[in-house]
Amino acid sequence: MTTHQFLPHSDGACSRRAFLTVSAALGGAALASHAAAPSQPNPPPDPIIDIHQHTHYHGRSDQQMLAHQRAMGVTTSILLPAGRPTVRPATHGGRSNGLAANCTGNEAVLAYAKAHPGEFLFGANEVTDLPEAAVEIEKYLKLGAKIIAEQKFGVQCDSPESERLYTLAAEYDVPILLHLQESTYNSGFKRLPTMFRKFPKTIFIMHAQSTWANIDANYDGKSLYPTGPVAKGGLTSQYLADHANCFADMSAGSGLNSLLRDEEHTRWFLEKHQDKILYGSDCADTLGRGPGCQGAGTIAAIRKYAANKVVERKILFENSKKLFRL
Ligand SMILES: [Zn+2]
Ligand SMILES: [Zn+2]
Protein backbone atom coordinates (compact mmCIF):
# COMPACT_ATOMS: atom_id res chain seq x y z
CA MET A 1 0.00 0.00 0.00
CA THR A 2 1.07 3.56 -0.39
CA THR A 3 2.54 5.40 2.53
CA HIS A 4 0.02 7.76 3.99
CA GLN A 5 0.68 10.48 6.49
CA PHE A 6 -2.49 11.75 8.07
CA LEU A 7 -5.85 10.28 7.37
CA PRO A 8 -9.17 12.01 7.76
CA HIS A 9 -10.64 10.07 10.64
CA SER A 10 -11.79 11.50 13.90
CA ASP A 11 -8.68 11.07 16.01
CA GLY A 12 -5.61 8.94 16.01
CA ALA A 13 -4.36 10.44 12.82
CA CYS A 14 -3.28 14.05 12.66
CA SER A 15 -5.03 16.72 10.70
CA ARG A 16 -3.06 18.51 8.03
CA ARG A 17 -3.10 21.60 10.21
CA ALA A 18 -1.63 19.72 13.13
CA PHE A 19 0.98 18.28 10.77
CA LEU A 20 2.06 21.76 9.74
CA THR A 21 2.19 22.82 13.37
CA VAL A 22 4.34 19.82 14.24
CA SER A 23 6.67 20.60 11.39
CA ALA A 24 6.99 24.19 12.47
CA ALA A 25 7.46 23.41 16.15
CA LEU A 26 9.59 20.32 15.99
CA GLY A 27 10.45 19.34 12.45
CA GLY A 28 13.74 21.20 12.25
CA ALA A 29 15.07 19.85 15.52
CA ALA A 30 13.75 16.35 14.93
CA LEU A 31 15.26 16.16 11.47
CA ALA A 32 18.56 17.62 12.63
CA SER A 33 18.96 15.15 15.46
CA HIS A 34 17.94 12.30 13.22
CA ALA A 35 20.44 13.31 10.55
CA ALA A 36 23.19 13.51 13.15
CA ALA A 37 22.49 10.07 14.59
CA PRO A 38 24.91 7.89 12.55
CA SER A 39 28.01 9.85 13.57
CA GLN A 40 27.16 9.77 17.28
CA PRO A 41 28.24 7.05 19.66
CA ASN A 42 25.64 4.40 20.16
CA PRO A 43 24.34 4.29 23.74
CA PRO A 44 21.40 1.96 24.25
CA PRO A 45 18.30 4.08 23.67
CA ASP A 46 15.96 4.77 26.58
CA PRO A 47 13.03 2.36 26.55
CA ILE A 48 9.60 3.71 25.62
CA ILE A 49 6.19 2.17 26.35
CA ASP A 50 3.44 2.98 23.85
CA ILE A 51 0.11 2.13 25.45
CA HIS A 52 -2.01 2.91 22.38
CA GLN A 53 -1.51 1.17 19.07
CA HIS A 54 -3.72 -0.87 16.73
CA THR A 55 -3.49 -3.79 14.32
CA HIS A 56 -4.58 -3.29 10.70
CA TYR A 57 -4.94 0.44 11.39
CA HIS A 58 -6.41 1.92 8.21
CA GLY A 59 -5.23 -1.26 6.53
CA ARG A 60 -1.57 -1.04 7.64
CA SER A 61 0.06 -4.47 7.56
CA ASP A 62 1.47 -6.25 10.63
CA GLN A 63 4.98 -5.91 9.17
CA GLN A 64 4.53 -2.18 8.63
CA MET A 65 3.19 -1.76 12.17
CA LEU A 66 6.20 -3.58 13.62
CA ALA A 67 8.61 -1.45 11.59
CA HIS A 68 6.70 1.70 12.62
CA GLN A 69 6.97 0.93 16.34
CA ARG A 70 10.67 0.10 16.12
CA ALA A 71 11.38 3.23 14.06
CA MET A 72 9.73 5.34 16.79
CA GLY A 73 12.05 3.76 19.35
CA VAL A 74 9.18 2.04 21.17
CA THR A 75 10.29 -1.02 23.12
CA THR A 76 6.89 -2.19 24.42
CA SER A 77 3.54 -1.59 22.70
CA ILE A 78 0.04 -2.35 23.93
CA LEU A 79 -2.28 -3.30 21.07
CA LEU A 80 -5.86 -2.15 21.58
CA PRO A 81 -8.46 -4.20 19.72
CA ALA A 82 -11.77 -3.11 18.16
CA GLY A 83 -15.09 -4.62 19.18
CA ARG A 84 -16.88 -7.05 16.90
CA PRO A 85 -18.42 -5.55 13.76
CA THR A 86 -22.07 -4.90 14.47
CA VAL A 87 -24.82 -2.60 13.27
CA ARG A 88 -26.44 -0.71 16.16
CA PRO A 89 -26.56 2.84 17.52
CA ALA A 90 -23.37 2.35 19.57
CA THR A 91 -21.43 1.73 16.35
CA HIS A 92 -23.32 4.50 14.53
CA GLY A 93 -25.03 1.95 12.35
CA GLY A 94 -21.73 0.16 11.68
CA ARG A 95 -19.68 3.24 10.71
CA SER A 96 -17.63 3.00 13.89
CA ASN A 97 -16.84 -0.69 13.46
CA GLY A 98 -13.11 -1.39 13.59
CA LEU A 99 -12.73 1.72 15.80
CA ALA A 100 -13.76 3.69 12.71
CA ALA A 101 -10.32 2.94 11.31
CA ASN A 102 -10.43 -0.64 10.02
CA CYS A 103 -8.69 -2.01 13.12
CA THR A 104 -8.97 -5.68 14.00
CA GLY A 105 -10.24 -7.29 17.18
CA ASN A 106 -9.45 -9.48 20.16
CA GLU A 107 -8.19 -12.56 18.28
CA ALA A 108 -5.86 -10.49 16.10
CA VAL A 109 -4.14 -8.62 18.92
CA LEU A 110 -3.84 -11.78 21.02
CA ALA A 111 -2.18 -13.64 18.15
CA TYR A 112 0.14 -10.74 17.39
CA ALA A 113 1.23 -10.34 21.00
CA LYS A 114 1.85 -14.08 21.35
CA ALA A 115 4.04 -13.97 18.24
CA HIS A 116 6.09 -11.07 19.65
CA PRO A 117 6.57 -11.83 23.35
CA GLY A 118 7.97 -8.98 25.41
CA GLU A 119 7.61 -6.43 22.65
CA PHE A 120 3.82 -6.44 22.30
CA LEU A 121 1.02 -6.77 24.86
CA PHE A 122 -2.69 -6.79 24.16
CA GLY A 123 -5.97 -5.41 25.41
CA ALA A 124 -9.51 -6.82 25.46
CA ASN A 125 -12.53 -5.09 24.02
CA GLU A 126 -16.15 -5.32 22.94
CA VAL A 127 -18.94 -2.96 21.91
CA THR A 128 -19.98 -1.51 25.27
CA ASP A 129 -23.69 -2.21 25.16
CA LEU A 130 -23.71 -5.65 23.55
CA PRO A 131 -25.31 -8.06 26.04
CA GLU A 132 -22.26 -10.36 25.79
CA ALA A 133 -19.67 -7.55 26.17
CA ALA A 134 -18.50 -8.44 29.68
CA VAL A 135 -18.26 -12.17 28.91
CA GLU A 136 -16.27 -11.54 25.73
CA ILE A 137 -13.89 -9.12 27.47
CA GLU A 138 -13.44 -11.42 30.43
CA LYS A 139 -12.39 -14.25 28.12
CA TYR A 140 -9.40 -12.19 26.96
CA LEU A 141 -8.61 -10.82 30.42
CA LYS A 142 -8.21 -14.43 31.49
CA LEU A 143 -5.80 -14.90 28.59
CA GLY A 144 -3.65 -12.04 29.88
CA ALA A 145 -5.08 -8.85 28.39
CA LYS A 146 -3.57 -5.81 30.14
CA ILE A 147 -6.36 -3.30 29.60
CA ILE A 148 -9.98 -2.93 28.52
CA ALA A 149 -9.66 -0.81 25.37
CA GLU A 150 -10.21 0.94 23.20
CA GLN A 151 -13.69 1.81 24.38
CA LYS A 152 -14.78 3.95 21.42
CA PHE A 153 -18.50 3.52 21.10
CA GLY A 154 -21.55 5.74 21.03
CA VAL A 155 -22.61 5.47 24.66
CA GLN A 156 -22.78 7.81 27.62
CA CYS A 157 -19.70 7.52 29.85
CA ASP A 158 -21.99 6.76 32.79
CA SER A 159 -24.34 4.31 31.04
CA PRO A 160 -25.21 1.13 32.99
CA GLU A 161 -23.32 -0.89 30.35
CA SER A 162 -20.22 1.28 30.84
CA GLU A 163 -20.48 0.83 34.58
CA ARG A 164 -20.51 -2.95 34.12
CA LEU A 165 -17.12 -2.67 32.36
CA TYR A 166 -15.71 -0.32 35.01
CA THR A 167 -16.57 -2.99 37.57
CA LEU A 168 -14.93 -5.69 35.44
CA ALA A 169 -11.75 -3.59 35.09
CA ALA A 170 -11.49 -3.33 38.87
CA GLU A 171 -12.14 -7.06 39.31
CA TYR A 172 -9.23 -7.90 37.01
CA ASP A 173 -7.09 -4.99 38.19
CA VAL A 174 -6.59 -3.60 34.69
CA PRO A 175 -7.17 -0.03 33.48
CA ILE A 176 -10.00 0.90 31.10
CA LEU A 177 -9.26 3.42 28.34
CA LEU A 178 -12.00 5.71 27.04
CA HIS A 179 -12.04 7.57 23.75
CA LEU A 180 -13.83 10.70 24.96
CA GLN A 181 -15.39 12.66 22.14
CA GLU A 182 -18.50 14.53 23.15
CA SER A 183 -21.67 13.60 21.25
CA THR A 184 -19.91 10.74 19.44
CA TYR A 185 -18.05 8.43 21.83
CA ASN A 186 -18.38 8.14 25.64
CA SER A 187 -20.31 11.37 25.96
CA GLY A 188 -20.82 13.18 29.25
CA PHE A 189 -17.27 14.39 29.93
CA LYS A 190 -18.54 16.74 32.63
CA ARG A 191 -20.04 13.79 34.51
CA LEU A 192 -16.88 11.65 34.49
CA PRO A 193 -15.92 12.53 38.10
CA THR A 194 -19.09 10.75 39.24
CA MET A 195 -17.61 7.58 37.75
CA PHE A 196 -14.16 8.21 39.30
CA ARG A 197 -15.86 8.41 42.69
CA LYS A 198 -18.30 5.56 42.19
CA PHE A 199 -15.53 3.18 41.02
CA PRO A 200 -12.51 4.11 43.15
CA LYS A 201 -10.72 0.84 42.39
CA THR A 202 -11.04 1.28 38.63
CA ILE A 203 -8.18 2.98 36.79
CA PHE A 204 -9.59 5.27 34.08
CA ILE A 205 -7.37 6.39 31.20
CA MET A 206 -8.77 9.39 29.34
CA HIS A 207 -8.02 9.75 25.64
CA ALA A 208 -9.00 11.80 22.58
CA GLN A 209 -10.55 15.13 21.68
CA SER A 210 -12.68 15.95 24.71
CA THR A 211 -9.78 15.10 27.01
CA TRP A 212 -7.31 17.38 25.31
CA ALA A 213 -9.64 20.23 24.44
CA ASN A 214 -10.57 20.40 28.14
CA ILE A 215 -7.07 21.27 29.34
CA ASP A 216 -8.23 24.84 28.75
CA ALA A 217 -10.36 26.49 31.44
CA ASN A 218 -11.75 28.70 28.66
CA TYR A 219 -12.70 25.83 26.33
CA ASP A 220 -15.90 26.68 24.46
CA GLY A 221 -17.04 23.06 24.32
CA LYS A 222 -17.18 23.06 20.54
CA SER A 223 -13.88 22.69 18.67
CA LEU A 224 -12.28 19.23 18.67
CA TYR A 225 -8.81 20.66 18.03
CA PRO A 226 -8.77 24.09 19.66
CA THR A 227 -5.76 26.32 19.12
CA GLY A 228 -4.15 29.28 20.86
CA PRO A 229 -3.27 30.08 24.46
CA VAL A 230 -4.49 27.78 27.23
CA ALA A 231 -5.88 28.96 30.56
CA LYS A 232 -4.70 26.70 33.38
CA GLY A 233 -7.17 24.66 35.36
CA GLY A 234 -9.44 23.12 32.71
CA LEU A 235 -11.54 20.08 33.55
CA THR A 236 -8.86 17.62 32.42
CA SER A 237 -6.33 19.20 34.73
CA GLN A 238 -8.84 19.15 37.59
CA TYR A 239 -9.68 15.48 37.01
CA LEU A 240 -6.01 14.46 36.98
CA ALA A 241 -5.28 16.47 40.10
CA ASP A 242 -8.34 15.45 42.09
CA HIS A 243 -8.73 11.74 41.33
CA ALA A 244 -6.04 9.17 42.07
CA ASN A 245 -7.67 6.70 39.65
CA CYS A 246 -7.70 9.10 36.68
CA PHE A 247 -4.90 9.07 34.09
CA ALA A 248 -4.53 10.40 30.54
CA ASP A 249 -2.98 8.94 27.41
CA MET A 250 -1.07 11.53 25.39
CA SER A 251 -1.82 9.86 22.04
CA ALA A 252 -3.40 10.93 18.79
CA GLY A 253 -3.67 14.21 16.92
CA SER A 254 -5.66 15.68 19.82
CA GLY A 255 -2.89 14.89 22.33
CA LEU A 256 -0.16 16.32 20.15
CA ASN A 257 -2.24 19.39 19.31
CA SER A 258 -2.64 20.06 23.03
CA LEU A 259 1.13 19.92 23.53
CA LEU A 260 1.91 22.33 20.72
CA ARG A 261 -0.67 25.09 21.17
CA ASP A 262 0.82 26.90 24.18
CA GLU A 263 4.43 26.08 25.15
CA GLU A 264 4.27 27.74 28.54
CA HIS A 265 1.14 25.86 29.50
CA THR A 266 2.59 22.59 28.20
CA ARG A 267 5.70 22.92 30.39
CA TRP A 268 3.47 23.55 33.41
CA PHE A 269 0.99 20.79 32.55
CA LEU A 270 3.63 18.09 32.04
CA GLU A 271 5.32 18.97 35.29
CA LYS A 272 2.09 19.18 37.29
CA HIS A 273 0.71 15.88 35.99
CA GLN A 274 4.02 14.09 35.53
CA ASP A 275 2.74 11.03 37.44
CA LYS A 276 -0.59 10.81 35.60
CA ILE A 277 0.31 11.11 31.90
CA LEU A 278 1.14 8.06 29.77
CA TYR A 279 2.72 8.03 26.35
CA GLY A 280 0.67 6.57 23.50
CA SER A 281 1.03 7.02 19.77
CA ASP A 282 -2.23 5.90 18.13
CA CYS A 283 -0.80 6.77 14.74
CA ALA A 284 -1.57 4.94 11.53
CA ASP A 285 1.33 5.91 9.27
CA THR A 286 4.05 3.55 8.08
CA LEU A 287 7.01 5.86 8.74
CA GLY A 288 7.58 5.91 12.49
CA ARG A 289 9.83 8.96 12.31
CA GLY A 290 10.02 12.51 11.04
CA PRO A 291 7.25 15.04 10.50
CA GLY A 292 5.00 12.43 8.84
CA CYS A 293 4.66 10.47 12.08
CA GLN A 294 2.47 12.02 14.76
CA GLY A 295 3.63 9.50 17.40
CA ALA A 296 7.25 10.52 16.81
CA GLY A 297 6.13 14.15 17.03
CA THR A 298 4.57 13.47 20.42
CA ILE A 299 7.76 11.85 21.73
CA ALA A 300 9.74 14.87 20.48
CA ALA A 301 7.29 17.28 22.12
CA ILE A 302 7.45 15.48 25.46
CA ARG A 303 11.25 15.56 25.32
CA LYS A 304 11.20 19.23 24.43
CA TYR A 305 8.73 20.43 27.05
CA ALA A 306 9.36 18.11 30.02
CA ALA A 307 11.07 20.09 32.77
CA ASN A 308 13.83 17.53 33.13
CA LYS A 309 14.85 13.98 32.31
CA VAL A 310 12.98 12.54 35.30
CA VAL A 311 9.67 13.96 34.08
CA GLU A 312 10.38 12.82 30.52
CA ARG A 313 11.16 9.26 31.63
CA LYS A 314 8.01 9.09 33.76
CA ILE A 315 5.78 10.01 30.84
CA LEU A 316 7.52 7.92 28.19
CA PHE A 317 8.17 4.88 30.36
CA GLU A 318 8.01 4.76 34.16
CA ASN A 319 4.33 5.63 34.67
CA SER A 320 3.17 2.87 32.34
CA LYS A 321 5.71 0.39 33.70
CA LYS A 322 4.21 0.95 37.14
CA LEU A 323 0.56 1.10 36.11
CA PHE A 324 0.73 -2.06 33.97
CA ARG A 325 3.23 -3.77 36.29
CA LEU A 326 5.69 -4.47 33.47
ZN1 LIG B 1 -6.91 4.44 19.10
ZN1 LIG C 1 3.50 7.24 13.26
* Ligand in closest contact with the CA of 80: 1
Output DSSP code: residue 238.
H
- Predicted TM-score of the model (pTM): 0.89
- CA 25–ligand 1 middle distance (angstroms): 24
Does residue 20 lie within any of the structural domains? Answer: no
Segment 187-234, tens digit of pLDDT: 999 999 999 999 999 999 999 999 999 999 999 999 999 999 999 999
Q: How far apart are CA 224 and CA 214, in angstroms?
A: 10
* Ligand in closest contact with the CA of 252: 1
- CA 150–ligand 2 middle distance (angstroms): 18
Segment 247-274, tens digit of pLDDT: 999 999 999 999 999 999 999 999 999 9
For residue 237, the model assigns a pLDDT of 98
Does residue 36 lie within any of the structural domains? Answer: no
Does residue 273 lie within any of the structural domains? Answer: yes
Nearest to 135 by CA among 94, 105, 165, 90: 165
Strand partners, 78: 121
Q: How far apart are CA 5 and CA 10, in angstroms?
A: 15
- Supply the CATH number for residue 52's domain: 3.20.20.140
For the chain, give the percent of residues with pLDDT over 70.
Answer: 88
Does residue 38 lie within any of the structural domains? Answer: no
Does residue 11 lie within any of the structural domains? Answer: no
The continuous run of DSSP H or E covering 52 comes out as strand 49-53
What value does the CA radius of gyration of the chain take, rounded to a whole number of Å? Answer: 18
Output DSSP code: residue 23.
I
Res. 15 pLDDT band, cuts 50 70 90 = very low
| Rounded (5°) CA angle 17-48-268 | 60
Q: How far apart are CA 7 and CA 285, in angstroms?
A: 9
- CA 34–ligand 1 middle distance (angstroms): 27
Does residue 25 lie within any of the structural domains? Answer: no
Q: Is the pLDDT of residue 298 over 80?
A: yes
For residue 43, the model assigns a pLDDT of 76
Q: Are 69 and 50 in contact, with CB atoms under 8 Å apart?
A: yes
Range in 15-24, 113-122, 269-278 with the lowest mean pLDDT? 15-24
- CA 172–ligand 2 middle distance (angstroms): 31
Segment 70-107, tens digit of pLDDT: 999 999 999 999 999 999 999 999 999 999 999 999 99
Report cis status (omega within 30 of 0) of the bond before 150. Answer: yes
**Higher per-residue pLDDT: 9 or 319:** 319
Q: Is the pLDDT of residue 246 over 50?
A: yes
Q: Is the pLDDT of residue 11 over 80?
A: no
Average model confidence (pLDDT) across the chain: 91
* Ligand in closest contact with the CA of 151: 1
For residue 193, the model assigns a pLDDT of 98
For 209-230, give the DSSP string.
Answer: HHHHHTTSTT--S--SS--S--
For residue 24, the model assigns a pLDDT of 52
Nearest to 179 by CA among 76, 255, 102: 255
- CA 199–ligand 2 middle distance (angstroms): 34
Does residue 40 lie within any of the structural domains? Answer: no
Contacts of 79 (CB under 8 A, 6+ apart): 53, 54, 55, 109, 112, 113, 120, 121, 122, 123
**Higher per-residue pLDDT: 298 or 12:** 298
Q: How far apart are CA 25 and CA 27, in angstroms?
A: 6
Which residues have their alpha-adjacent CB atom under 5 A from ion ligand 2?
Answer: 283, 285, 293, 295
- CA 13–ligand 2 middle distance (angstroms): 9
Nearest to 317 by CA among 54, 76, 80: 76
- CA 53–ligand 1 middle distance (angstroms): 6
- CA 149–ligand 1 middle distance (angstroms): 9
Give the number of domains in the chain: 1
The β-bridge relationship of strands 76-79 and 120-122 is: parallel
The β-bridge relationship of strands 204-207 and 176-179 is: parallel
Sheet containing 246-249: order of strands: 148-151, 176-179, 204-207, 246-249, 277-278
- CA 134–ligand 2 middle distance (angstroms): 32
Does residue 151 lie within any of the structural domains? Answer: yes
**Higher per-residue pLDDT: 36 or 173:** 173
* Ligand in closest contact with the CA of 125: 1
Res. 19 pLDDT band, cuts 50 70 90 = very low
For residue 41, the model assigns a pLDDT of 60
* Ligand in closest contact with the CA of 64: 2
Domain of 111 in residue numbering reads as 46-323
Segment 22-66, tens digit of pLDDT: 555 554 444 444 444 455 567 778 999 999 999 999 999 999 999
- CA 173–ligand 2 middle distance (angstroms): 30
Q: State residue 170 phi and psi, 5-degree precision.
A: -65, -40
